[in-house]
Structure formats: C-alpha cells, structure tokens
Amino acid sequence: MDDSPHQPVLYKEIIHALQPHTGGRYVDGTLGAGGHARGIMEASAPDGQLLGLDVDPQALAIARRNLAPYEHRIHLAQASYTSLSTQLARLGWGAVDGIVLDLGASSMQFDTPERGFSFLHDAPLDMRFGPHALQTAADLVNKYSERELADLIYQYGEERESRKIARAIVRARPIQTTRELVAAIEAVSPRRGERVHPATRTFQALRIAVNEELTSIEEVLPQAVTALKPGGRLAVISFHSLEDRIVKDFFREHSKDRVNPPYEQIYEEERKATLKEVNRKPIVPSDEETQNNPRARSAKLRIAEKT
Ligand SMILES: C[S@@+](CC[C@H](N)C(=O)[O-])C[C@H]1O[C@@H](n2cnc3c(N)ncnc32)[C@H](O)[C@@H]1O
C-alpha cells in the first residue's frame, strides 16, 4: 500500500473552512492517511487537539505514522464516525470547534487491489472499509435475489441498465472476484468507448451497500451538530450525488427556523435553526487540483456553522 502522505482532496479549502486555532478541539471522522488531520494539527499548534476515527485498521496504522510529530495532541480510534457521540464522551470532550468528514473510499483503498474496490484489478470481491462491515460485496452478489440486486444497483448506482445487469449477475453466479463481476456486466453492457466503464456504477452501488454509507451519513450528521460549540464548523466532502443530497438537505433543513410546524407535523416542536450554511453552493476543486488528481473531479464540499 502506498502510504506517502498525498495532498488530500480540497486540502486548503478544508483548513480555511475549519479555521483551526490554538487550544481548539477537532474531529476528523474519516482519517485515511491523515492528510487533513495533519493540516489541522499544524494550524492549531502548539496545543490544538484532534480525535481521528477510521474503521480501516490499515489506514489507521498509516495515519499514526504520518501524524507521529503530533502524537501528544491526537487521539486515534478504530471506530465508525457513527459512534461520534460515544467517542467524544469517552475522551470527556464536551464540545468541539470543528469536524471534517471526507466521505467514501481513500486512494489507498482503491489502489490496494486485494481490497476489491477497483474493477481494473482482479481480486476477491470484498469492498469492506473495515472489519466491522458484516458482509462483503461477494456475499451480496451471491445472496441477493435478482430483484434485490436490480433495486440496489438502481438506487445506489443510479444505473439505468440495473435490471439487465442484475439478471447477468444471477446467471454468472457464483461470483467471487472483481474480474468475474466485470465479465458478467460487460457481457450485457459492453464498453462503447464511453469515458465511464460499464462496471463503474455497479461497483459504486455494492460499495455503498457493503459499508452502509448512506445510513452512516444520516446517523452522523445530527451527532455532529450536537457535538459542535456555537460557531464551530462542520465540513463534509462528498463524492457522488447521493451523498451530497443527504448533506445538502440536512444543512438546509437545520438552517431554517421552524416556528409554525405544518399541521401534518403537529408533534414537531417549534425549533430554532441550529446551523447556518457557510456556502450555499458547494465548493469544488480547482482545475489545477483535478488535473493533478482526477479522483477529485466529483468532490463537493459543504460547510455549516453551528448557531
Ligand atoms: C476519502 S478517505 C479520507 C482521506 C483523508 N481525509 C486524508 O486526508 O487522508 C475516507 C476514509 O474514511 C474511512 N471511512 C469510511 N466510512 C467510515 C466510517 N463510517 N467511519 C469512519 N471511517 C470511515 C475510509 O476507511 C477511508 O479511510
């Protein structure tokens, strides 16, 4: 695994968004190689502190090495960001100044063939971010009914040919490797010189399902709002429209006062806005960044401040 500290996506923008300061407390819920975390530590020197979480033990080991110079100011845990409240309670941290979530898989995970994230390499069809995930992609592909697979590929992959692909997968079972899955997809959805490989959307769908990515985002956002101090900021980088929509809708919803609940929601209490959107439109990487790192192309950063 390449563990050189890459410049992470939207690095400068994340540091600018969180404005880390001396004595501040920060959370990186998706530590990866620790690139954003390093920036936070530098900007909050000499005594800012960071809680870093990742479900991937390999990522955590690499981050620990990359963040060694700040060892006395960081707390790392192999845990999901969905356990944010518990992790903060464990540290005895009341409220924090900033939280970053850089969603999805890391370059290190994509570039490690045996993790099974990439359709460009033959490997066991795994796709788990960490050992906490209950099922691998192979489990889903071999156990789900044709209908369940079609729904999953349609919903999480936004794949128009989901039915055809689901049928081909069921016909090709058992499927244990990335290459077998790609062959099944290509048999019904051949490459036509398009920029996007025909397996892209199915791989995305399986990864989201295996790691319960969308429900995890839904779970962490309210915890993040509770965890922030007034004026504290939450910065979220998403990589596809399904993730971005959840973040956008949550930010919009919580930036509104709800003084007169509509009558269908009579049980809803009157509520003051808890967030203020810092940017109405998402921040995207510069042309220079996408040229140097094509994976940054689809990144979108949304920032909200606790009121
Ligand atoms: C895009 S990478 C983050 C890269 C990081 N910002 C950096 O500077 O190197 C996303 C990381 O989030 C981790 N991850 C995904 N889902 C998670 C979850 N529910 N809880 C904690 N970490 C998660 C992945 O294992 C991966 O290492």
pLDDT, one tens digit per residue, over 13-71 is 999 999 999 999 999 999 999 999 999 999 999 999 999 999 999 999 999 999 999 99
Quickly count: other Cβ atoms within 10 Å of residue 253's Cβ. Answer: 13
Q: Is the pLDDT of residue 176 over 70?
A: yes
Reported as a pLDDT band with limits 50, 70 and 90, residue 260 is: low
Q: Which atom of ligand 1 is least distant from the CA of 36?
A: 8
Pairing of strands 300-306, 275-277: antiparallel
Pocket test for ligand 1, best of 38, 54, 216 (most atoms within 8 A of CB): 54
The two structure tokens encoding residue 195: 């920029």
Q: What percent of the chain has pLDDT over 70?
A: 94
Pocket test for ligand 1, best of 2, 4, 28, 30 (most atoms within 8 A of CB): 30
Average of per-residue pLDDT across 171-193: 93
Is residue 284 within 8 Å of residue 264, measured between CB atoms?
no
Higher pLDDT, 98 or 267: 98
CA-based nearest residue to 102, from 295, 270, 307: 295
Rounded-to-integer distance, Cα 175 and Cα 125, Å: 8
Q: Which atom of ligand 1 is least distant from the CA of 82?
A: 19
Kindly report, residue by residue over 104-137, the tens digit of the pLDDT: 999 999 999 999 999 999 999 999 999 999 999 9
What residue owns the CA closest to ligand 1's atom 27? 32
pLDDT at 272: 86
Residue 224 Cα to ligand 1 midpoint, Å, equals 16
CA-based nearest residue to 278, from 306, 260, 303: 303
- C-alpha dist (Å) from residue 236 to 93, 293, 301: 21, 19, 6
Reported as a pLDDT band with limits 50, 70 and 90, residue 270 is: low
Reported as a pLDDT band with limits 50, 70 and 90, residue 231 is: very high
Residue 253 Cα to ligand 1 midpoint, Å, equals 25
Looking from the CA of 23 toward its CB, the CA atoms found within 13 Å total 0
pTM of the model: 0.94
Alpha helices in 95-161, H assignment, sequence order: 107-110, 137-143, 146-157
Q: Is the pLDDT of residue 286 over 70?
A: yes
Pocket test for ligand 1, best of 106, 112, 215, 216 (most atoms within 8 A of CB): 106
Q: Can you tell me whether residue 6 is helix, strand or coil? A: coil
pLDDT at 7: 86
Is 295 exposed, middle or buried (CB count within 10 Å of its CB: 0-12, 13-18, 19+)?
Answer: middle
Rounded-to-integer distance, Cα 302 and Cα 3, Å: 27
Residue 10 Cα to ligand 1 midpoint, Å, equals 14
What residue owns the CA closest to ligand 1's atom 3? 32
Reported as a pLDDT band with limits 50, 70 and 90, residue 266 is: low
pLDDT at 3: 47
Residues with CB under 6 A from ligand 1: 8, 29-30, 32-36, 53-56, 59, 80-82, 102, 104, 106, 129, 211, 216
Average of per-residue pLDDT across 168-184: 98
Reported as a pLDDT band with limits 50, 70 and 90, residue 257 is: confident
pLDDT at 271: 74
